[in-house]
């Protein structure tokens, strides 16, 4: 979808940590015209610039470019007489903690200061930009682990990142942090994110205080009731794609469909996958010796050790416990001329369940050894075209090239974007369909939402949401 003139004279936005602009496609479809975007990675910024040609692109660190971003947005708003409708912030998630927040804070109280990831502090200049630009709505998107993350605030105090966020923006803004499952919005992918929404809009604040959520109502559910529909399965989403097979080059690509091709697997890995049943891992494959076909070989597993770390079992049998035949399970050399079961978790070399939405797509979506990345019924991984469908990117006419990348004072044109970059961008992005629904909801939030349609909020945030 191209940018439309009517969008440019209505809702204005600023996007920070924009990536390749995938999520912002949804906001644009909802009527938001982004005045500027900011992304530190040059190749991601070039993709965003290609797809948002009327948006000013800042390439660099948000903290270093805060003044320029705010100045550019303010000048644009003064020219049109508009206010800023939306500011989005998708700060890096790699440093978000999986550890318990309480444990971290207790250690600090005992004088045991943890090593904090500096990337988590990138939210601070975004908060300052929000105070300066005063958008009507602010949306932060990140992993669920953001709830457990602590940072050092501007005064050198170590505090939960959500406390810093809400304390900084209150009382001008009010809002909440929501655990969102994208599959609950008709997206054929189980991908969870923390969506934190704040507003200074008077009508929206009144609605919020009366119990109305600041995220749109769910439309789907795993076990639907009322007006909710069933989740969209990966089988339903991919049913129109021509079949592929990773056995060789002639079967691994469909020349008539762009990006519908997959890596050829070596014969060993192909055999592991070929014998893997739907919804199972190759680590659990049973005997394929025609004279035996024993199906009672011990399955793979994992357990927590005394140190609390969850590790895959190393004693999973590699040879049939009845006939001694090598099982079609992932293996490697043991360094002594023999074979051993490969190190890997129960979700490695695992087929997707065709009757469920796909598991979350990651930057490793093209590797069968990654978490549940094997096609639900064909002997291969997903193609990039299929990944674009599961991520809902294909609905928005996204362009992947030619790519013009800035380098110093010059630039370089890249006619074809490598598959490796596309795979990374898909894995880093979020489904734009959700943000289209969110953008439309923010533009008209006064909707009645039934109890089964509401996104649940953890009790402690219900109690403290106004801070």
Please report, rounded to a whole number, the percentage of residues in the chain having pLDDT higher than 90.
Answer: 70
Q: Is residue 223 part of a domain?
A: yes
Task: Report the C-alpha gap between 78 and 87 in whole angstroms.
Answer: 17
Q: Give the model's confidence band at 462: pLDDT under 50 very low, under 70 low, under 90 confident, else very high.
A: very low
99 vs 97: CA distance, rounded Å: 5
Contacts of 384 (CB under 8 A, 6+ apart): 259, 260, 261, 366, 419, 422, 423, 426
Same domain, 23 and 155: yes
Shared-domain flag, residues 332 and 422: no
Structure tokens at 196: 């934190």
pTM of the model: 0.88
pLDDT (tens digit, 9 = 90+) per residue, 42-84? 999 999 999 999 999 999 999 999 999 999 999 999 988 899 9
Residue 352 domain flag: no
pLDDT of the residue at 303? 77
Q: Quick one: 294 and 429 in the same domain?
A: no
Which CATH number goes with the domain that contains 85?
3.40.50.150
Per-residue pLDDT, 3: 43
Tell me how many domains the chain contains: 2
Same domain, 41 and 190: yes
**Contact assessment for residue 38 and residue 18, using Cβ atoms and an 8 Å cutoff:** yes
CB 88 within 8 A of CB 139: yes
Q: How confident is the model at residue 461 (pLDDT cuts 50, 70, 90)?
A: very low
208 and 332 share a domain?
no
Bond into 402 cis (ω within 30): yes
Range name among 27-41, 258-272, 304-318, 403-417 with the lowest pLDDT average: 403-417
Asked if 23 and 165 sit in the same domain, the reply is yes
Core vs surface per residue 222-254: b (16+ CB within 10 A) or e: eeeeeebeebbbbbebbeebeebbbeeeebbbb
Give the pLDDT of residue 276: 97
Q: What is the mean pLDDT of residues 271-278?
A: 96
Long-range CB pairs of 65-71 (<8 Å, 24+ gap) are 65/38, 66/125, 66/128, 66/129, 69/14, 69/16, 69/36, 69/38, 69/129, 70/129, 70/132, 70/133
pLDDT tens per residue across span 153-199: 878 788 888 999 999 999 999 999 999 999 999 999 999 999 999 99
Rg (CA), the chain: 24
DSSP for 286-343, written as a single string: ----TTT----PPPP-EEE-TTS-EEE-S---SB-TTT-PBPSS-EEE-SSSSEEEPP
Same domain, 226 and 293: no
The answer as to whether 259 is a domain residue is no
Q: Which domain holds residue 309?
A: 288-346
Asked whether residue 339 falls in the same domain as residue 423, the answer is no
In-domain check, residue 81:
yes
Last residue of one domain, picked from the residues 346, 363, 393: 346
State residue 464's pLDDT score. 38
Q: Which of 320, 346, 372 is the C-terminal boundary of a domain?
A: 346
171 found inside a domain: yes
Q: Are residues 111 and 188 in the same domain?
A: yes
Residue 383 forms part of a structural domain: no
Q: pLDDT tens digits for 94-147? A: 555 454 445 555 555 565 555 666 667 788 999 999 999 999 999 999 988 888
Give domain status of residue 340, yes or no.
yes
Domain shared by 44 and 148, yes or no: yes
For 342-380, write each residue's pLDDT tens digit: 987 778 999 999 999 999 999 999 999 998 999 999 999
pLDDT of residue 357: 98
Q: Answer whether residue 135 is part of any domain.
A: yes
Mean confidence (pLDDT) of the chain: 88
Q: Write out pLDDT tens, residues 213-268.
A: 999 999 999 999 999 999 999 999 999 999 999 999 999 999 999 999 999 999 99
Residue that finishes a domain, picked among 297, 321, 346: 346
Residues 85 and 203 in one domain: yes
Residue 467 has pLDDT above 60, yes or no: no
Alpha-carbon distance 86 to 37, whole Å? 12
Whether the predicted pLDDT of 318 surpasses 70: yes
Nearest to 431 by CA among 25, 14, 1: 25
CA atoms within 13 A on the CB side of 214: 29
The confidence score (pLDDT) of residue 58 equals 97
Residue where the block lists tokens 């089988």: 235
Q: Kindly report the backbone phi and psi dihedral angles of residue 444, in degrees, each rounded to the nearest multiple of 5, phi listed first.
A: -145, 70
Q: Say yes or no: 225 and 298 in one domain.
A: no
- Distance CA(368)–CA(365), nearest Å, equals 8
The mean pLDDT value for 391-420 works out to: 82
pLDDT at 312: 72
E strands present in 383-460:
403-407, 410-414
More confident residue, 452 or 434: 434
């Amino acid at each position: 979808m191209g940018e439309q003139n009517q969008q440019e004279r209505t809702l204005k936005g600023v996007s920070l940590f924009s990536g390749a602009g995938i999520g912002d496609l949804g906001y644009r479809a909802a009527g938001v015209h982004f005045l500027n975007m900011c992304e530190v990675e040059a190749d991601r910024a070039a993709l965003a610039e290609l797809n948002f040609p009327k948006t000013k692109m800042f390439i660099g660190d948000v903290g270093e470019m805060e003044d320029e971003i705010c100045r550019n947005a303010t000048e644009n708003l003064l020219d049109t007489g508009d206010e800023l409708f939306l500011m989005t912030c998708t700060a890096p998630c790699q440093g978000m903690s999986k550890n318990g927040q309480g444990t971290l804070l207790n250690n600090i109280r005992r004088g045991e200061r943890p090593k904090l990831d500096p990337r988590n502090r990138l939210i601070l200049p975004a908060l300052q930009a929000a105070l300066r630009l005063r958008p009507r709505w602010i949306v932060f998107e990140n992993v669920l682990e953001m709830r457990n993350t602590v940072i050092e605030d501007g005064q050198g105090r170590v505090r939960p990142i959500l406390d810093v966020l809400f304390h900084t923006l209150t009382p001008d803004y009010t809002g909440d942090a929501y655990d969102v499952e994208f599959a609950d919005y008709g997206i054929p992918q189980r991908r969870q994110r923390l969506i934190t929404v704040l507003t200074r809009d008077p009508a929206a604040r009144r609605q919020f205080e009366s119990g109305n959520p600041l995220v749109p109502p769910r439309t789907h559910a795993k076990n639907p009731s009322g007006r909710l529909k069933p989740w969209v399965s990966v089988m339903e989403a991919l049913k129109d794609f021509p079949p592929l097979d990773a056995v060789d080059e002639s079967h691994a690509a469909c020349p008539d469909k762009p990006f519908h091709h997959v890596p050829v697997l070596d014969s060993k890995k192909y055999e592991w996958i070929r014998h893997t049943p739907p919804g199972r891992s190759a680590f659990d494959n049973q005997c394929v010796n025609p004279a035996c076909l024993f199906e009672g070989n011990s399955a793979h597993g994992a357990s927590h050790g005394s140190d609390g770390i969850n590790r895959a079992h190393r004693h999973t049998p590699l040879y049939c416990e009845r006939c001694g035949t090598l099982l079609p399970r992932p293996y490697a050399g043991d360094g002594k001329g023999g074979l051993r079961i490969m190190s890997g978790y129960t979700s490695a070399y695992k087929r997707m369940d065709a009757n469920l939405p796909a598991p979350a797509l990651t930057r490793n979506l093209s590797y069968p050894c990654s978490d549940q990345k094997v096609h639900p019924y064909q002997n291969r991984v997903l193609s990039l075209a299929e990944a674009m469908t599961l991520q809902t990117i294909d609905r928005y006419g996204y362009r992947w090239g030619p790519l013009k990348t800035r380098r110093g004072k010059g630039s370089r044109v890249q006619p074809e974007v490598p598959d490796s970059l596309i795979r990374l961008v898909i894995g880093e992005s979020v489904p734009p369909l959700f943000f289209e629904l969110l953008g439309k909801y923010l533009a008209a939030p006064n909707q009645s939402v039934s109890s089964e349609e509401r996104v649940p909020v953890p009790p402690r945030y219900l109690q403290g949401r106004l801070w």
